[in-house]
Amino acid sequence: MSRRDPSTLIATVLANGRCFVQKIGRTATVRTRQNVDSVDFEAAMEDVGLAIRRMIVAGQDWADRGHDERQRTLDRLRDAGFDLLTTIAHEDNRVGFVEALRNTRYMQVAGERNIPWEFLYLGSRDKPASLENFFGAQAVVGHPIDRQDVPKLGAANSLRQDSVFARRPAGQPLISGLAEDLTLDSAKSAAEAAVLTNRGLAPIRLGPLHPPRRAALDTFGSFLNEATDLVHFNCHAIAGSRVRPSAISVTDSFTINETEIADLSIEIDAVVVLNCCHGIALRRDTRDTVATAFAGRGVRAVVGPTNEVADDYATVWADHFYGAFLSGQPVGAAILSARQALFTAPGANPMALLYAFVGEYDASLEEERAA
């Protein structure tokens, strides 16, 4: 997606909820509320968070829940998403803001707060909630990578026109890697690995990592350096906090945190998929997470859920994502394609709204072509 694409929005959110949203390629700035009441904003954010938590709990066994219970879950999300949008835009600006969002396919977000944009509700709250009216049903939200600490790559712009991600000469096989926590059912059954192998990939497997820890970290770094195009993680992850770094269990017995990832002797130019709970784990902002630790090592894009997802659902999501991504769609479009495919089924599980990315919207595995 280029700088001139009118379906791109850039949003900057201040700590108090004041939001500046600009449409790329146009001079006008979409009007949002200039003086957000911090109490109203915090209350709206809390309500959305609670509604998302209820959705996650219900989403673990969504198919087993009755229609009425599923609808109540969606209606709670609708009400919370509707109120948060109104708090940001204010009632006087809501119509124009909704129109801008409906015409958006990619939103690049920066700033001091992480608003769950995908859950903003664009429809009416007077009708039963429908997945198609959540902003995330039609747009993907991404967070740019700050590469100032990566001297070789220099500063990067996630919307640069020449950023089609390509390193493979024509006819050269895709080099991929797979790391799995074998305590997961999807790893034990090889269901998630099959998503890759059934599409012709032969991923390099990360084997057991043993003490001493320094040697294990070196082995992990070598694995990443070998998988030059794509690295897929099917494992557990731990969301970070102000006192604990985020981390991933890259095998059934080895956990690595964001600080250790940032310190690895690697610089990889690949797409990383963290298909694990809290894979992106955006908290207050996009700094200091497993995702940005990888991004700081040269990765073009890191994909994953922002919260908990069911193991079997994550594998189904991966099947849809790779169906789009390996056919040539860039990361952002592939996330959206997977989401929309999953939403077409009656009684669709809304957990696909949890998937987001850090990095470049247009990172892809296509062969290099002129900008």
* Backbone φ and ψ of 91, nearest 5°: -55, -35
Q: What pLDDT score was predicted for residue 163?
A: 31
pLDDT tens-place string over residues 142-161: 887 765 544 332 223 232 23
Q: Which two tokens stand for residue 22?
A: 């600009």
The candidate with the shortest Cα–Cα distance to 31, out of 39, 17, 21, is: 21
What are the residue ranges spanned by the domains of the chain?
8-138, 176-359
Q: Say which residue the tokens 């908290």 belong to.
A: 283
CATH number for the domain whose boundaries are 176-359 = 3.40.50.1460
Q: What CA–CA distance (Å, rounded) separates 42 from 245?
A: 25
Angle at 162 between CA 157 and CA 166, to 5 degrees: 105
Q: What pLDDT score was predicted for residue 169?
A: 56
- Cβ(40)–Cβ(140) below 8 Å: no
Q: What pLDDT score was predicted for residue 21?
A: 67
pLDDT tens-place string over residues 265-313: 887 789 999 998 766 654 444 456 788 888 778 788 999 998 889 999 9
Q: What is the pLDDT along the chain (371 residues), one digit of tens a residue?
A: 333 344 677 676 665 555 666 665 443 344 455 555 677 888 999 999 999 999 999 999 999 999 999 999 999 999 999 999 998 887 777 888 888 888 888 888 776 677 899 999 999 999 999 999 999 999 998 887 765 544 332 223 232 233 333 445 556 788 999 999 999 999 999 999 999 999 999 999 999 998 899 999 999 999 999 998 999 999 988 877 777 888 898 888 899 998 999 898 887 789 999 998 766 654 444 456 788 888 778 788 999 998 889 999 999 999 999 999 999 999 999 999 999 999 998 889 999 999 999 888 888 886 433 33
Q: What is the DSSP string of 207-242?
A: ----SSHHHHHHHHHHHHHH--SEEEEESEEE---S
Q: What pLDDT score was predicted for residue 20?
A: 66
Q: What CA–CA distance (Å, rounded) separates 141 from 228?
A: 25
Q: What CA–CA distance (Å, rounded) separates 130 from 166?
A: 38
Q: Which two tokens stand for residue 168?
A: 């493979």
The candidate with the shortest Cα–Cα distance to 360, out of 168, 167, 150, 142, is: 142
Q: What pLDDT score was predicted for residue 25?
A: 46
Residue 26: helix, strand or coil by DSSP? Answer: coil
Q: What pLDDT score was predicted for residue 284?
A: 40
Q: What CA–CA distance (Å, rounded) separates 337 from 324?
A: 7
305: preceding bond cis by omega (within 30 degrees) = no
Q: What pLDDT score was predicted for residue 37?
A: 62
